[in-house]
Structure formats: structure tokens, C-alpha cells
Structure 1
């Protein structure tokens, strides 16, 4: 069942036979676009695992994808890496509020040092372009994004939605769920977002892009954009 609670911020609590030990709480930050903060989504163990299993494999993000200015370091998980029990437990928690299918893209892990950032961009595939239309046909539209903070950041590094003035501070273990499409399936231009520059400290995030339709398993290892 979904419950709406009347607090200072809207809360949605998913509590129907969840595979998690405790209910997942979604705090609404914006109605248009749909943006939610998920407090304490990841445990310390899950944050540590994702960092430790990635830190020696990072590549400059501008070598992973193009079209958006990124100055962090990241990776896309290789085949089988998402099968680790800790990562699978993260996915189980995601399944309590999104439709996680074989069409969804592999998880990304990204590190930002001071001064590093990601410019404003959309996560959805543009259906009006040849490339975007092709990717929608292959993988399905990117309906929503789950961005997870793996560590605290001393200063800077917010995830910002400039069209609506929303900024989300990185807090270890928290996640942000935002929808790249409207409820009717049209892309949502208000979902424009960016990773603000890290001013002090280091920012680690993990990202899971949720695609619209299921594809054969041999399409699982897709590399999308390197990151909000």
C-alpha cells in the first residue's frame, strides 16, 4: 500500500511485503518534475562495497560518453559485477518502488574530486532525434533515474534541477529518484539536472537508469550517459 503523510514535505511510504528490513520512504521534493529523496536507502556496507569495488577501475568520464561536459571519473559495471549479493540487495530495495527489468541499464559508479562537475543535461533519449529514436527502439525510454550518494561531501556537489530551483545535498546512504518522463510517457523538459562542482571533499555516487520496456538479456550491458 502507498501512504501519503501530511508533513512539511510529502512522504510516500512503501510498506507492502517489501523485501527490505524496513519500509522505503520517498520524500517528495518536486511535483513537476517528479523528484523524491530517499533517506538511508543504502547501508554503510553497501556504500563501502560500491566504492571499494570500483575505485581502481575508474576512467575519465569524458572518455565514457560525449555530449555533456563531465570532469569526474566513472565506470559502468561489467557483466556479472551486478550479481554480487550486496548489489543484488540494493536492486531488491529498488524493486519496491520501480519496475526493475532486464532492460534497465547497468549501474554506474562515479567519483568527483574538488572542482569536478557535470553540466546540465537530460537523462531521457530524445525521441525527435535519429539517435534517440534508435535507442528507444533498442532499450526503451529512460523513464526514471535512481542516484545514490555513497559518501558525505563537505561542500558542494549538489544534484540540481535548475528549471525548478531544487537542489539535493549529497548525504551518505541517501538516494534521489527522479522521473525523466511525465506520467503520460512524454519526456519532461523540467527534468533537466546537473551535478554541481565539488568545492571541498570527494563525491561518490552510483546511478541506475530505469528503462521502459524489457529486452533480451544480451542487451543488458548498455552504456548510457556518465551521470547526474
Structure 2
């Protein structure tokens, strides 16, 4: 009787993770099943960007390489189609300006030898292709779109660089904006 009562109670996390078949049958808690189902549904639908010649895009973990966990850095192979790259270059080409860096004290953009490229920002509101790319970035990184900065396109001539640096802000303006 005591054994039957013990089996009727829901398994503890330790029990459902256990590989010992005498403790509990391999059962996942309902919350974990719900989370896995939600993740599968979130990753399953295609994110259209056919206007850029990319067709439908699915999250493909086989194309993701973890470079580092601390800090988090991943390589997403083949993330943009050639047509998307060409579109972004075309949009950015006439708008490139000398790249600046944020001054840690004032928060203002200043020239620096740390960064010698040229670049521009593209808003997701500019067109459907940029918006679609931003949606894919959010889906593939598991981060909400609203947490992202506008897309930045950079151009480097031979010999130009962006030195290693730390991103932090102590000025009130950037801290209030969440660091960007």
C-alpha cells in the first residue's frame, strides 16, 4: 500500500532526471513538456524574406557554432543570403560615414583611432527585408527584437580596424537608454 501511494505522487526533479528505472518511469514534468512544445512551435515557422531572394528561413542548430559561452559568442553560418547582403550594401553605400565611438564620460560620439571604419545604421522600419532579418536575429538568438540596436553596416578598407574594447557606459544618457 505504501509503495502504491508513493508511486501515485508526482516525481521530484531528481526522480525524473534519474536513469534508475526502479525510482520512476522516465516522465517529464508537464511544465518542461510545455516549454519544449513552445520552443518547437517558436522555431518551426518559416520567417519569410523571399523579397530578398532568400526564400523561407528556419532556425537550423546545425549551422550554429558556439565560439564562447562567457562572453556568449556564436557563429551563425549562412545566416544571410547573397541577395540580402547585396540589398544591405546597396542601402548603406551612399550613407556611410566615418565610424565613431561613444565617449565613456559624456556618452557623445567621438572620433577615435580605436575604430577606423565607416558605417551607417539601418532601421528595421526602412523595409520588409531589414524587418525580416531583425525577426530572424531575434528568433535565432532567443532575444526579443526590442532589445536590439538598429542594424549597423560597416565598411573596412585594407588596414582599417576596430580594436578590442569593453562596452560600458557611465554617463546618464546611455545608462538611461539601456547602454545603446
Pairwise same-fold verdict (TM > 0.5) = yes
* SS at structure 2 position matched to 1:74: strand
Q: Which has the higher helix share?
A: 2
> Are the aligned partners of 1:70 and 1:119 in contact in 2 as well (CA < 8 Å)?
yes
Aligned length: 124
Q: What stretches of structure 2 of length at least 5 have no aligned partner?
A: 1-34, 48-56, 103-108
Aligned to 2:59: 23
Structure with max Cα Rg: 2
The yes-or-no answer on 1:94 pairing with 2:130 is no
Alpha-carbon offset, residue 67 of structure 1: 6.9
SS at 1:48 equivalent: helix
Match of 1:70 in 2: 115
TM-score, normalising length: structure 1 = 0.46
Where do residues 16-165 of structure 1 align in structure 2 (5 Å cutoff)? 16-20=43-47, 21-25=57-61, 26-62=64-100, 65-66=109-110, 68=112, 69-77=114-122, 82-96=125-139, 97-123=141-167, 125-126=168-169, 129=170, 131=171, 133-137=172-176, 139-141=177-179
Quick one: higher RCO (CA 8 Å, sep 6+), 1 or 2?
Answer: 1
Deviates most, 18-27 or 38-47: 18-27
> In the TM superposition, what whole-angstrom CA distance separates every residue of 1:124-163 from its partner, at most 9, and x where no partner exists?
x33xx2x1x54222x224xxxxxxxxxxxxxxxxxxxxxx
Q: What's the TM-score, normalizing by structure 2?
A: 0.57
Q: 1:39 & 1:105 partners in 2: Cα distance?
A: 21
Residue in 1 aligned with 2:50?
none
SS in 2 for 1:91: helix
Residue 48 and residue 59 in structure 1: after superposition, are their counterparts in 2 closer, same or farther (change >3 A)? same
- Could you list the runs of 5+ residues in structure 1 that have no partner in the other structure? 3-12, 142-223
Whichever structure has more strand as a proportion of its residues is 1
Coordinate RMSD, CA, aligned: 3.0
